[in-house]
Structure 1
Amino acid sequence: MSSRTAHSIAHFEAPFVLGGLEGKLPAGDYDIDHDEELIDGMSWLAWRRVATFIHLPARTVKSSTSQLVAIDLAELETALKHDRENAA
């Protein structure tokens, strides 16, 4: 089965919380990876998201260590929505 990774950036104006991660994460830009696999048997190309990962720390933080942590996409979308609503 074929797979691919789509990349995006999540921007937070304020500190935020994601389930499975300890404490609040600081505001900033975070690289996000979405792993997808090709759905076989379709008459057209279709991809299914199978995992979402966040790169820690944020892009602006200079660190000698980094982590790639699996997260729930729905929680990320909720946190981003909450951040946008509070920034307005």
Structure 2
Amino acid sequence: MTMRTRRETVIFKHPARIKGIERQLPAGAYEVVTDEEMIEGLSFPSFRRIATMIMVPGAPPHHHSMEMLTISSIDLADAQHHDAVASNV
């Protein structure tokens, strides 16, 4: 099975809450990693998302460490939407 990993940077202009993460994340840039697998049997290459993770600063007292937390892509999109709406207020 063919797999691929995509990386992107997501920027929150305001402190953000993402469902599944028990603490508020400070405003800033976050690396998001998405793992996808190829859908077999099609006449063209197509991939489906199987995991989405975000790199966040460690919870206190481990501020200098990084954690990779699994999140829902829908919850990430919701947090981005809330951040964009807050920017327009």
Q: TM-score, normalised by structure 1?
A: 0.89
Which string of whole-angstrom CA distances, capped at 9 and with x for unpartnered residues, describes residues 43-69 of structure 1? 110111111000012xxxx82x21111
Q: How much identity, in percent, do the aligned residues show?
A: 35
Which structure 1 residue ranges, 4+ long, deviate > 3 Å from structure 2? none
| Counterpart in the other structure of 2:7 | 7
CA RMSD in angstroms comes to 1.5
**Unmatched tracts of structure 1, length 5 or more:** none
**Post-superposition offset of 1:17:** 0.8
Q: Deviations over 1:14-51 (max 9, x none)?
A: 11111121121100000000100011001110111111
TM-score of the superposed pair, with normalisation by structure 2: 0.88
Matching residue's letter, 1:4: R
Q: What is the aligned length?
A: 84
**Shift of residue 87, structure 1, vs aligned partner:** 0.6
**Unaligned segments of structure 2, at least 5 residues:** 58-62
